[in-house]
Amino acid sequence: MSARNFGWLGVFRLGLVQASLGAIVVLTTSTLNRVMVVELALPALLPGLLLALHYLVQISRPRMGHGSDLGQRRTPWIIGGMFTLGFGGWLAALATVWMGSSPAAGIALALVAYSLIGLGVAASGTSLLVLLATRVAPERRAAAATTVWIMMIAGFVVTAGVAGSLLDPYSPTRLMWVAGGVALAALGLTTLALLGLEGTRQDLTPAAERPAPADFKAALSEAWTEPRARRFTIFVFVSMLAFSMQDLVLEPFAGLVFGLSPGATTRLSGLQHGGALLGMLLAAAAGSHWAGRQWGTLRGWTVWGCVASALALGGLVCAGLVGPAWPLRANVFLLGLSTGAFSIAAIASMMGLAGAAAGSDQGHEGVRMGLWGAAQAIAFALGGLLGSAASDLMRWMLTDVGLAYALVFFVDAALFVWAARLASRVEPARGPRPAVFLAQLERAP
């Protein structure tokens, strides 16, 4: 007999794990990046390369997923991955501090730290999503995934806000304490949230009823040859490339062009994530009024979310040209709002495909989820690298720093337009619309 499905309390507990994962990651993608570029006056290419390394390591996601498929239990992979992630996050903060006095030693330690961060995210993130896709009833998968994603964004907002307040006035000692506190809190919350959630091995499918273990290469090849999964993988790559290009550029841009402090730019990142959270909620609520129209479809939300993100990035182009007079906080909030609306549709599509795969190819869910995660990781690696390298190049070629960043944001906006065009041609998954998200929550026990 198969293990029972999770109720909404189980989904909430998985959301706490995802929020813990995001809490550690947001420090490395925003705060440490800002400290390297502004406080230590290092090239923006350095944090770009380090973030690219941590994403490239996540190419191991399909292999991690296959490993959890073989053992069936996902909890050990999630907890082990979170421990690796937390230790890597603290080492990354230590490496950043060392760069101030011994750049070579600091960079060498950072290579180790960011590799550990990538391995931790690959192990914990992949197994968590597989657990969500396989232990939630089919009619609730999209709503459950959206709930977990919203909780991750909430973790971004809380961590960015609290860490930003604790970091002012900035000092290396404060940075170390904040990084260590976030890592310990995240690991403790993860362990408590997963306690007894998945059940024992006896609660899972008996060995005699499981499909025979497949070779990893064969399982990966089978996942790639499935047409809808392949098309969605390509879309994930392009859209995440567009999304990630601004990630490492925004905080240095706010520091150099608008003169914001490390704490202020960290809070600005929190404002962006708060906008993303609101965008998800608004997209779900609006879908209840537009159900049955193009505006209520997954494809509609994906396309128009990408278009709105391009327009918000166009506003940042103007910010680079106008300077401190531009309403930066409002612009960044609108960018988060647009990407949040886009994300809810993409997540619903992913969970719809994962659910279909779970039904037709049970036992290989981890490989399929790992494939999409690897596509996202490669896109984020290239996006962060291209964004930071382009900002360095433009600043070297142009004396006007604002104009240099404006050109980078313009290229990023063009990528979002391309992503919108691709989204309009991707066959949408047969999953619930955003309107169904609210309806399912209303019927939930």
CATH code, domain carrying 80: 1.20.1250.20
- The pLDDT value recorded for residue 250 is 84
Cβ neighbours of residue 386 under 8 Å, at least 6 residues apart? 245
Q: What percent of the chain has pLDDT over 90?
A: 23
In a domain, 204, yes or no: no
- The pLDDT value recorded for residue 205 is 52
**Most confidently modeled of 27-31, 63-67, 90-94, 209-213?**
90-94
Answer yes or no: is pLDDT of 430 > 60.
no
pLDDT digits (tens, 9 = 90+) for 176-209: 999 999 999 999 999 999 988 877 655 555 444 5
In a domain, 205, yes or no: no
- The pLDDT value recorded for residue 211 is 54
- The tally of domains found in the chain comes to 1
**Most confidently modeled of 10-14, 133-137, 330-334?**
330-334
- The pLDDT value recorded for residue 136 is 79
In a domain, 209, yes or no: no
**Residue 354, domain extent:** 8-199+216-443
In a domain, 121, yes or no: yes
pLDDT digits (tens, 9 = 90+) for 311-326: 999 999 999 898 888 9
- The pLDDT value recorded for residue 421 is 85
**Distance between CA atoms of residues 344 and 282, nearest Å:** 10
**Distance between CA atoms of residues 127 and 215, nearest Å:** 19
Between 425 and 139, where is the model more confident? Answer: 425
In a domain, 3, yes or no: no
CA atoms within 13 A on the CB side of 166: 19
Tell me the pLDDT of the chain averaged across its residues.
80
In a domain, 410, yes or no: yes
In a domain, 173, yes or no: yes
What is the mean pLDDT of the segment spanning 320-340?
Answer: 90
- The pLDDT value recorded for residue 80 is 93
Between 103 and 134, where is the model more confident? Answer: 103
pLDDT digits (tens, 9 = 90+) for 95-112: 999 998 898 999 999 999
**Most confidently modeled of 36-45, 182-191, 381-390, 432-441?**
182-191
Answer yes or no: is pLDDT of 217 > 70.
yes
Judged by phi (left if over 0) then psi (alpha if -120 to 50, else beta), residue 292 lies in left
In a domain, 254, yes or no: yes
Cβ pair 120, 86 in contact under 8 A: yes
Taking each helix axis from N to C end, the angle separating 434-443 and 262-290, rounded to the nearest 10 degrees, works out to 80
**Most confidently modeled of 16-25, 345-354, 427-436?**
16-25
0.75 surpassed by pTM: no
289: pLDDT confidence band, cut at 50, 70 and 90?
Answer: very low
